[in-house]
Structures are given as C-alpha cells and as structure tokens.
Structure 1
Amino acid sequence: MFFYPDDNDTEIETVLATKKTLFKSSLNIFSNIQMPINDSYFTSERVDPPVFSTWLKNMSAFDGVLLTIASLSVSFVLSIGIGCLYFVRKYISNESSRHAMTWIALMFPVTTVTSLLGMYFPRSASFLHIIGTCFLMICVTMVIRLMKSLFKGEIGILEYMTLNDLNFDLKHPPFLCCIKLPPLKRSKRNFKILTFFVSQTVFVQIIGRMCTIIAFLENSYKHQRIYDISNIACFISIMVSIYASEVLYRVSKKSLSKYKFGIIYIIVHISQTLFNIQEVFINVLQKFNIIEPGFLVYPEIRTLYLASFLFCCEGFVLALILFFAINPSKNKMCDRYQPSDAKSSRMNSKAELGELNHLKNENLINNNVELHRKDHKKFTNQNMFI
C-alpha cells in the first residue's frame, strides 16, 4: 500500500532517510566487489613457460642435476647407437631386414635427443615429444615388417603356421587371460587385421599430440579436458597395439629365436610404453599436488620434464641391451659376419693351398730339369757315336 507523508510528519522522514543511506551503502559494497574471473584472466593467463636462457638461469639445483644426468646418458646412447647402426649396415645382407633394423637402431638416439631438447627448451617440449612419439610408433611397425622379412613375407608366416598347426591365440596375460576366447584362425585377412591394430597407434598418437599442441598454443592449460582426453585415447591405443603385437609375436617366437627377434620386439615395446605411459602416471601425481610445476608454470611441462629425464636414463639401459642383441657374433641376422675362428681356418686353408701349389710347381720344375738332362745326354751320346 502506497501513501504520501505529510510535511509535519517527522518520524516518517527519518525512516526514509535511514532507508536511503542503507541503500547507498549497499550500492557501494557491490561496486567495490572484485571479480575473480577477470583477475585470473588478466594475470595467470598471461604467464608463459620460460625461454631457454631464463630457464637455465632460474632452474633449481634439483632440476640442474636431472638435466646433467640426462645429458650424460644421451651422450652414451649416441655412441651406442652409432655402434648398432654400424652392425646393421655392414653385416645384414637382406635389404628389407636391413631397412627395418636401421629404424630400430636409430630409435634410442632420436627419442633420447628429443627428450633432452625438451628438457632444455620447455616451450617446445610438447612438439619435441610428438616427434619422439611418432618415431617410436614407426619403429613398432618396423618390428612387424622385420618379422615379415625374416619369414619371407606373409605367405611364409601362414605356411609356417600351417605346418605347425598354429592359430592366433588371443589369450595372453595380462590381456584377456581370464576370458574364454576361441583362437583366431590363420588367414591372410586376420593377419592384416592384427597388423592394422598394431599400426593404428601411429595415427592416434599423432592426432592426440596435435590436440595437445593446439591446447598449448591457445593457452588452454586451465581447461584440462583436451589434455586428459588425449592421454586417455593414447593410452587405449597403446594397449591395443601391444596386445596385437603380442598375438603376432607368440606365433614367431620359436622360429625367429636365432635372430634375437624376441629381444628386439620386447625392447621396442618397452621403450614406446615407457615413453608414453609414464607421462600419464606423473600427470596423476600432479593432480594430487604431489609434484609442483615450480618455475615451469604449467603442470604439463613439469610432467614432460620428469618423463623426459626418466626416459633418457631408461634409454641408456635399453640401448645397451639392443647393442648386445644385434652383436654379429650372436645374431644370425648378420649373415655377412665371419667369426675369427672361421677367418683363421680360412687363412690356414689358403696357406695350405698355397704351399701345395708351391710344392707342385717345384715338382714340375724338377721333372722338367731331369727330362732336359736326359735329352741332353742322348744328344751328346749320338754325337759321339757319329
């Protein structure tokens, strides 16, 4: 109900005056409120990861120790990789096997160098990680190509399975070992399906890492959805690739043991698993604030820094194992290699053949000399008779 107060009504005037002052004070309170969204937009979103020079000057002592150890490990990996590449290019005669093994021999030098560069250049760590991931995925496909080459193609694999009455067994721990699955029949179609499951991870990894790069360029690290979806998709893709590779590996395990194929297969898959999955586990630790980003600003860059350090150390150990696996004296794949015993026996046989030829030549010379003497005596006797 509305009413108009009289001029003489002082009580109503005082009530209206107090209401007016309260209304003005409430307006002042609302006007002084600061919006947190605008502050975060204009402060934290502008903070970028440090550049190379700033990062080296302001890194902590712990990060400096990690960077030094990683640099030493990569230097050892490069020297070991040169030795592996020398063995492959010199002692393997089959062109297809030599091509596949060249990629595998370069696997650790390339991936550890990209990891180390990502530790030196935090802003480019995501892009360098994509390069290493793509190279590892190519090496996974090269393992299957190496298996085809050692079997003389897909037909050779299917013939071997037919002679030994083998099928593609789908129950392998820890994958589907508790589920009763019938074996997959041996056929060219099923073999191609399994090889597709192995190679699909290359495309999934590239797409997922490109999404991470886009998120980095758009400064969307405050929105973790793209990054988390990319990690989950890459993790599932890696598991599918490992499972399909395991099914194919079980078929050729016994036949290709003399080529050390099992060791090469395990090294490649352990390396690509560590390179990608340990990043996911470190990211989980970041979620629970166990690991702080520190001067690197973003948790994702700190995750890549720690994962790169771990892989540089792990790559050194795996490169040593690969070096001994490709050793020509123990690997039948290096068919051009001749052991020292064979060389010495060959040299001895050559020396013996040379001595025999020399003796034969001396005997021939002696026989010719005796014949010449006999002819000379006959000739002198005839002259004396005349």
Structure 2
Amino acid sequence: MHAPGNRTLICSVLFLDIVGYAHKPVTEQAKLKEAFNALLAEAIQTVPASDRIVLDTDSGAAVSFIGNPEDALTVAIALRDGLAAHLAADAAAALEVRFGINLGPVKLIRDINGQPNLIGDGINVAQRIMAFAEAGQVLVSRSYYEVISRLSEAHARLFEYLGPRTDAHVRTHEVYALRGATATAPREQADADDGLRALQRAGRDAAEKPSAESSFPSWRLRLGVPLVVAAIIFGALALRDGRAPAEKSVSNEPPLTAGGMDPYAPEPAPAPSSPRPAVSERPMEALRSAEPTSVAPQPPAKPKPPSAVPEAPRSAEQKRTAPTPPAVPQSPPSAEPQAAHIELAIAPWGEVYVDGKLKGVSPPLQKLDVAPGTYEIEVRNSTLPVYRQTVRVEAGDRVKIKHKFP
C-alpha cells in the first residue's frame, strides 16, 4: 500500500472492543484475543489490503477503510454474524464485542517501528461511539449515517436513531444503532424457533388424528339432519296456530296490511239504516217557509286618508337604470413567503450549524432551504478553526458559502 505521508484523509473507522477483557486472567485474555483475531481476519477478507489499515489495540482493534465507506458496515455485520456462530458452536465461550463506526479525518503517520499508524478525530470519535454500545451492538456516528443513508433507502432503514450521548470529555455525539439482533440473541432466537416448530408439529398431529365425532356413521348423519329440520318446521307451525286466537282476542282492531286492510279478514256487517225523513205533502208551503230572513244593511266603510307624501310609481326604465350599491373590495389572499436557498461548497468536509443548530455534514449536504431573514452560519472541522459567516437572504435568493479548511 502506498501510504501518503502526513496527509489528512476522510476515512471510515471501525473500532472494536472485547467486553470485559481487562478483568480476565492472562490465559483467558490470550484465548479471547486469538479467537477475536481469527474472526476479524475472516471478516475483512472481502476488502482489498490496499483499502484498509488494521491497528491492534489492547482489547480489540481499529480498522480504517480508505476506500468505500460501506466496507466498514459490511465488515461489522460479518464479524457480528461470525461471533454469533462462534457462541452457538461453543456455549462456554465468553467472547462478546462492542462496535463503533465513525466517518472523520485521520492522519496517516509512521510509528516508532516504521509501521503505518493512524491519529486524528476520526479514530477518537469511533472509540467514543463504541463506548456507548452494549455487547454485540453496532453504533454509528451522525457523520457516518449521513453518508451511508444516502446510498439507498435500504441503507437508511438499517439504522435507528438513539439520540444525543455525551462522552467523558463532555462532548455530545448523535448516535444511530444498527437494527438487528445482538451477539447473544441468536441462541434465544434458536430456542424460540424450536418451540415454534414443536407447536406446529403438535397442531399438525391434532389435525391428522381422527376425532370421535368423525367415526360416527355418515348414513345416520344424512338421515338425522332432514328429520331435525322437519321437526323444527312442524313445531313452528303448531306454535303459530296455538298463539293466533290469543293474539286476536287481545286486539280489537283488525290487522293492517300494506294497503291498510287485511285481505283475509271477514267483511264487516252492514250498519242499520237510519229512518228516512218524512216528505211534506205540500212542497210549495215548505219552500215558502224556507225563505231566507232579511239582513240589516251595513254602513259603508270610511275611506282611509291618503299618506302625506304618496310615492310616485317607478317606470321600467327607472328600475333598469337604478344605481347598484358599490361592491366591497376584497383583499387578495396572502401568499406564503418563498424560501431562500443557501448553497454549500466545503472542502474537505465540515459540520454545518445554522444559528447554533446542527444541520448536517457537508459533503454530502449541499443546500439548505431557509425562510427569509438573517442567519449565523458556522462550519466546523474537528479541531480546526471554526469558519463563521453571517448571511441575509430574501425570498427566492441563492447564497453560496464556500470554504476550504487547511
């Protein structure tokens, strides 16, 4: 590998730590470290040697990936699965590992033996992210998540946001956890799968075993069903016939149908005819006696006095030309303010803050959409001096912030 001397690189750093390594006796430490090195060597076989640098630590290792940032996640998952298989094969093994991944700047140097070594904020933050993890858990930093989640939607769904965590140096880190089982979960999952398979076998045996009801002769079943149905029908008819007189005796009114009368009710008896009035034998005298009586004349009604100012009738032309009341002007609906755009061009990378709030890491962050106003922009890169710029934007403006860290 051609190692660039004293150059700052942006690398994906995977920091690994064996849980409880410092509290083990020396003989057990040697066994754990030997098994750990074998699993790690198998997990990193897919990454070319020119794209990785492996540093041995006291209780684990730190692997820096210079090329594809996805290599760190691939190796972490492969090592986690290898540890799970190792624990499943040897139940007495106590090899549990914590994982921490970070994307940040590192400086490639030569150690006292002339071997390549790494220093910088990238490896330091990876170690602190690992310190927040539990046994078998893979945690990543915000900077690494911002890059890996842009590869595809499937990569973004692999992680769960855990929130901010503060390390021993009073520095806050936003932490994401890789979804999935921990190193000890495969044994529990295997037990659950065995129980589920046992329940499925018991259900199949119960379904295949003939029950006592199924041994009942089929001809009796075919004969008994019609008899039961016939008995129910006859019982219903007898109950209706027995209850009909009682229902008629309760109500004195004939039952009504949709037309208003029962078509099956007996016709009512005709009412007795009333006696016809006697006809006078002298019709003329009866007519004279039926003449109307005279009515007293009513006095004429007094006319109403006319109004003081009679209203003149309006012609059709006046009605058509009558002025209409002025329309009340309506204010147009207020339009929403148009957003402004702040374009970013940061090299090699930087954390972007707007009014003290972290908005992301650039790159890959390239544009911010903000409302019109004045903003204080800060760009931070590890321990380098912070770049600050105050911008004022109006609706639809495009402002570009360009900065290159030394």
TM-score category of the 2 structures, normalised to the smaller one: under 0.3
- Richer in strand (by share): 2
- Give the TM-score of the pair, scaled to structure 2: 0.20
- Give the TM-score of the pair, scaled to structure 1: 0.20
- Richer in helix (by share): 1
